[in-house]
Amino acid sequence: MKLIRYTAYAAEILLALTIQSVPYLLPTVFGEKALLLLPLALSFAVWEEELPSAVLGAVCGMAADLSFSGRVGFFSIFFVIACYILSRLMADYIKTTCLTAVLAAAAVIVLVLSVHCIIFVGDTGFFVRHYAVRILYTLAVMPLFYGLNKAVMARTKRSMV
């Protein structure tokens, strides 16, 4: 059943990458698109253990890096660390609910995209005009991925019983 679950995750990653990259497929909000791979990786981390979360974070991060710059680096590193920490927190310290998942995701999304703006743009006005909208749009899809992967986990774990 793990195979089925990871196959579902792989399909989600491919779908998210395609939807966020292909022009006119994802609606824009004030000219900005959501970075779908980030909330997707965090939704994996909410339900999976630390090692699988880190690996899935790495895969999502590499996909985001290859789409953005063609070189693996920024997103891969951040996604791995964020997914590992989130998975650990959800397992040991925080009760897993939609609200806690969204709040945790909000902290990560703000941090990742803020650092991205500092490194690759370095303009405060640009952050306000573009990244703020991008952060909100990216966060808005988190509940969707949370629910989706909750269902995936429930189905595959039920099948194991």
Partner 1 sequence: MKKRKKRFRTLAAVAGILLVLVLLTAGNGYVYDLVTGSVLTPLMQTAAQLGNSFAPQKSMEELKQENSRLQAENNRLNDLLADYDDIKEANQELSKFFDIKQEHQDFVLATASVIARDPNENFGGFTLDRGSVDGIAPNMPVLTEKGLVGWVNSVNVHTCKVTTLLSPEAGIAAADKACKENGVITGSAALADSGLTCLTNIRQSSKIAVNDILVTAGSGVYPANVKIGAVRYLTVDSYTGMPMAVVEPFEDAQEVSSVVIVKRFTGEKQ
Nearest distance from C-beta of residue 109 to partner 1, angstroms? 12
Question: What is the rounded CA–CA span in Å between residue 59 and residue 153?
Answer: 19
C-alpha distances in Å from residue 35, one per residue of 38, 112, 131? 6, 11, 11
Nearest distance from C-beta of residue 36 to partner 1, angstroms? 8
Q: Which is nearer to partner 1, 71 or 158 (CB)?
A: 71
Closest to 5 in 3D by CA, of 145, 161, 159: 159
Contact letters for partner 1, residues 42-81 (x by CB under 8 A)? ----------------------x--xxxxx----------
Q: Does 128 interact with partner 1 (rule: CB under 8 A)?
A: no
Question: What is the rounded CA–CA span in Å between residue 62 and residue 106?
Answer: 21
Q: Does 35 interact with partner 1 (rule: CB under 8 A)?
A: yes
Query: What dihedral do alpha carbons 44, 25, 63, 59 form, nearest 10°?
Result: 20
C-alpha distances in Å from residue 61, one per residue of 4, 9, 94? 22, 14, 24
Q: Which is nearer to partner 1, 5 or 134 (CB)?
A: 134
Nearest distance from C-beta of residue 44 to partner 1, angstroms? 19
User: Per CB under 8 A, which region of 4-12, 33-41, 79-87, 151-159 contacts partner 1?
Assistant: 33-41
Q: Does 121 interact with partner 1 (rule: CB under 8 A)?
A: yes
Q: Which is nearer to partner 1, 22 or 160 (CB)?
A: 22
Residue 147 three-state SS: helix
Query: Does residue 59 contact residue 13 with C-beta atoms inside 8 Å?
Result: yes
Nearest distance from C-beta of residue 70 to partner 1, angstroms? 4
Question: What is the rounded CA–CA span in Å between residue 92 and residue 24?
Answer: 41
Contacts with partner 1, residue ranges (CB under 8 A): 20-23, 26, 32-35, 64, 67-71, 116, 120-123, 125-126, 129-130, 134
